[in-house]
Chain A
Amino acid sequence: EADIYQTPRYLVIGTGKKITLECSQTMGHDKMYWYQQDPGMELHLIHYSYGVNSTEKGDLSSESTVSRIRTEHFPLTLESARPSHTSQYLCASSAAPWRSPQETQYFGPGTRLLVL
Chain B
Amino acid sequence: GEDVEQSLFLSVREGDSSVINCTYTDSSSTYLYWYKQEPGAGLQLLTYIFSNMDMKQDQRLTVLLNKKDKHLSLRIADTQTGDSAIYFCAERGNTPLVFGKGTRLSVIA
Contact check, B42 vs A59: say whether CB atoms are below 8 A apart. no
Size band of the A side of the interface? 20 to 34
What 7 A-B pairs have minimum CB-CB distances, sorted nearest first? A107-B42, A101-B30, A41-B102, A107-B43, A42-B101, A43-B99, A103-B92
- A90 near B43 with CB under 8 A, answer yes
Which of B8, B42, B96 is the one whose CB lies under 8 Å from A90? B42
Q: Which of A2-44 contact B (CB under 8 A)?
A: 6, 31, 33, 40-43
**1/0 per position for B36-48, CB-CB distance to A under 8 A?**
0000111111001
- Name B's A-contacting residues (CB within 8 A): 8, 30-31, 33, 35, 40-45, 48, 86, 88, 92, 95-97, 99, 101-102, 104
Cβ–Cβ contact A33 & B96, under 8 A:
yes
B45 touches A106 (CB 8 A): yes
Interfacial chain B residues near A92, Cβ < 8 Å: 42-43
Given contacts A106-B45, A107-B44, A110-B41, contact A101 B101 (CB under 8 A): no
